[in-house]
Amino acid sequence: MTPHFIRQLIIHTICNVTGEPPENITAKNRIELNTRDWEQIFSRLEATLDIQTGMLTSTERSISIDALTPVLHAKISDDIVI
């Protein structure tokens, strides 16, 4: 799975949960979320990517798509067993 695909998945998931259009999401440097949206976004991302990020229990409610993308990509790569 490429970092570009993961970035698009993050944007898609945020848009589906918050109802905001992609251009609004990508225009922001950091995205502020309420607790409900945060939990929905990370539970969907974890389920889709079949990983555990530990972000569900985080007290942080602000994310950067550009910072999150390589974290998720690395997590997927770490979980691959050959």
Q: How far apart are CA 78 and CA 3, in angstroms?
A: 14
Each residue's pLDDT tens digit, 66-76: 999 999 999 99
- On the question of pLDDT at 80 being above 70, the answer is no
Domain extent at residue 67: 3-79
Please report the pLDDT score of residue 65 as a whole number: 97
pLDDT at 78: 74
The count of domains in the chain is: 1
DSSP per residue over 4-49, as a string? Answer: HHHHHHHHHHHHHHH---HHHHHH-SSEE--HHHHHHHHHHHHHHH
pLDDT in tens, 25-41: 999 999 999 999 999 99
Residue 44 burial (C-beta neighbours within 10 Å; 0-12, 13-18, 19+): middle
- The pLDDT value recorded for residue 79 is 58
